Homo-oligomer: A and B are copies of this chain.
Amino acid sequence: MRIGILAIGTELLFGQTVNTNATFLSKELNTRGFDVLYHVTVGDNPNRMKEELSTLMKKVDCVITSGGLGPTEDDITRDLVGDYFKRRLIEHPDALKEIEEYYKKNNRLMPKSNIRQALIPEGSIILPNKYGTAPGFILQEDDQVIVSLPGPPSELVPMFNTYVIPVLEQRLDKHMYYKIIRTFGIGESSLEESLMSIIHGQVDPTIATYAKPGECSVRVASQNTDLQVAKKKVEVTIARIKELVGEYIYSENDEELLDVVFHKLLQDNLTLATAESCTGGYIASSITDIEGASQILLGSLVVYSIQSKIKLLGIDKSLIDKFGVVSPQVAIEMATKTRMLHSTDIGIGTTGYLSGGKDVPEKEAGRVCWAIDFKGEVISGEFYLKRNKKRQAFKHYVMLHIMNALNKKIG
């Protein structure tokens, strides 16, 4: 099934917003065996929108639009899609109710303009929006489909996963089965080289490697009229991949490393505290992004200055003087002290120089020392960050590095 993605929004053409929706949709669709052939972006201009929609519809079986479903006058996607299929817009009472309730829940008065958002082309499947006011919709006519979704990714993503995928999958004649293996500690080129013996000459399942921030993944996919056949083929290939690079694999189900560790901690009833210098609270903040974090993370000390390391965490000044503030010794002491202070099973310590600076010796720039105190047993290490990345990317990499070590420890 051939698909075109039509993004609508002048902010995209102004370069204010990156079209991550097209990337997300393409990835999800490809994963399931759909062929995405075009991405097109137009502004909120009725003539150009109309032209691009009808041009695309001639070239593909399904167009997915994103954006232009807002309450303002230049939001006209619903009008254009209605026009295309010659359907009038109907005020949909359920949709209107949901919009009203959205405002009520948020203790705000619904502006009158939002009523527009309940206008949907006749005959559509309506897609509820739990995270915003604009409902989406799907219009199907013979072998043509238009799916219209709101522009904000926080609304488009769940709506697509929950409501659109099942409808589109009914139109597929082959089933796709795939698994995504996640690895840490091996670069993409090395990963690909290690797998060359199975990648080369293999058509089914397809094997593709992807670089993600700080890590790599491998996607193994097979398409077949019989889902069980596809599944079997994927499993056989995965067994071979595990033989070759098993030591780097932390998930066979496309999970985040932090999630993998989090759920093991939860299962084993283990608590954790951090003492963060170079990561600046990023590890604590990442853990508290996960629902149920309060059962794992009891607290964290972001001891960014030397004074706070001494005063709040109780690091011995002489230790810092002797080994330097960025040293495995200090990292270990940070991990142990925070574990003691919070009475947790696990303590994590980080100290490092994310970048150079006048107070940083040239050789030390990018040096990171870390430690885990696991019920009194200490694991620690150090490494140098590659230059020329954003500070946020560095902090993320340090977090992954520590979580990988912790993951291996708790097994």
Contact = CB atoms under 8 A, between A and B. Distances in A.
Interface of A: 7, 10-20, 22-30, 36-43, 45, 48, 52, 55, 70-72, 105-108, 111, 113-114, 130-131, 152, 154, 187-190, 192-193, 208, 210-211, 219, 274, 276, 279-285, 287-291, 293-294, 297-305, 307-308, 311-312, 341-343, 355, 384, 386-393, 395
Contact of A281 (B23, B210, B281): B281
A38 to B, nearest CB: 6
27 contacts: A12-B23, A15-B24, A16-B219, A17-B210, A19-B39, A40-B41, A108-B187, A111-B189, A113-B189, A280-B285, A280-B293, A281-B281, A281-B283, A281-B285, A284-B304, A288-B302, A288-B391, A294-B305, A297-B304, A298-B308, A299-B302, A299-B308, A299-B312, A300-B301, A301-B301, A302-B302, A311-B341
Given A37-B43, A289-B391, A107 B280 contact: no
Contacts of A48: 37-38
Contacts of A190: 111
Contacts of A130: 388
Given A111-B190, A299-B312, 8 more contacts: A39-B40, A113-B189, A131-B389, A280-B287, A280-B293, A289-B392, A298-B307, A299-B304
Contacts of A106: 386-387
A51 to B, nearest CB: 9
Contacts of A300: 281, 300-302, 304
A44 to B, nearest CB: 9
Among A12, A24, A152, A285, max chain B CB count under 10 A is at A285
B13 A18 contact: no
Contacts of A28: 15
A67 to B, nearest CB: 12
A347 to B, nearest CB: 13
Contacts of A108: 187
A243 to B, nearest CB: 21
A25 to B, nearest CB: 7
Contacts of A52: 38
A281 B304 CA distance: 12
A37 B30 contact: no
Contacts of A29: 15
Contact of A342 (B40, B308, B388): B308
A293 B304 contact: yes
Contacts of A392: 289
Nearest to A178: B14
Report, nearest first, the 10 A-B pairs whose CB atoms are least far apart.
A280-B288, A15-B27, A281-B281, A15-B26, A281-B284, A299-B308, A300-B302, A39-B41, A281-B285, A282-B285
A299 B303 contact: yes
A298 B305 contact: yes
Contacts of A16: 27, 210, 219
B301 A299 contact: yes
A282 B288 contact: yes
Among A15, A130, A283, A387, max chain B CB count under 10 A is at A15
Contacts of A19: 18-19, 22-23, 39
Contacts of A302: 274, 281, 284-285, 288, 297, 299-302
A208 B16 CA distance: 10
A49 to B, nearest CB: 11
Contact of A211 (B37, B152, B192, B389): B152
